[in-house]
Amino acid sequence: MTDFSDLVDGYHRFRTSEYRRHRDRWSQLSGGQNPQVMVIACSDSRVDPAQIFDTVPGEIFVVRNVANLVPPFENDGGRHGVSAALEFAVTQLQVPEVVVLGHGSCGGVMASLTGVFDGAAPGAGGFVAHWVDMLQEARAGIVAEHGTGEEAAHQLELETVRVSIANLRTFPFVAEREAAGLLSLRGAYFAIRDGVLHVMNRAGEFAPA
């Protein structure tokens, strides 16, 4: 089992291998970043966007959370981590593309599908329940059609991408840039079981890359 001491050991390996290999790039990046893509992905330990897309440091600006969800635009004085990262990437870094990456075997999706944390207090699943209730409307339709089994889970995993992209468009600075042709919103789905990446088309359908 990996613990913090294993992570420190990994750091030492990094310093003597990858860091040296990309030393010129690290020196360049120390003066600032200029990623061309923002990736919104799940916190799941099995789904690392940098690994899936085989990127080098500085290529992608990544935000990870439960079930790769983007909340709708809200100006309520709360602390909005995903919204802040999105704002920074789009208005300050001016990334031309935002990708929402869903994945198979998503625990957040299962929490939504089964309602296992519904009504729970914070610290007992309440934060998770409130977060994934962004899928509530989609879940209702999927459960009505597919029940709560494996196919329903898969369909809801795909729906996390569609819901997030729809919510992205509620942000004025996103909608304005997309309308001006300065920003593209893209969806993708990584199947953990077989390692295949699926890409979403304009109609919201997914096909292997």
pLDDT at position 28 over 90:
yes
Q: What is the mean pLDDT of residues 43-71?
A: 97
pLDDT at position 1 over 80:
no
DSSP state of 91: I
What pLDDT digit, counting tens, does each position of 132-190 carry?
999 999 999 999 999 999 999 999 999 999 999 999 999 999 999 999 999 999 999 99
User: Which residues contact residue 28 at a Cβ distance below 8 angstroms, ignoring those fewer than 6 apart?
Assistant: 58
pLDDT at position 191 over 90:
yes
DSSP state of 89: I
pLDDT at position 4 over 90:
yes
Contact between 167 and 71 (Cβ < 8 Å): yes
Task: Give CA–CA dist 98/61, Å, rounded.
Answer: 9
Question: Which band of pLDDT confidence, cut at 50, 70 and 90, is reported for residue 22?
Answer: confident
pTM: 0.95
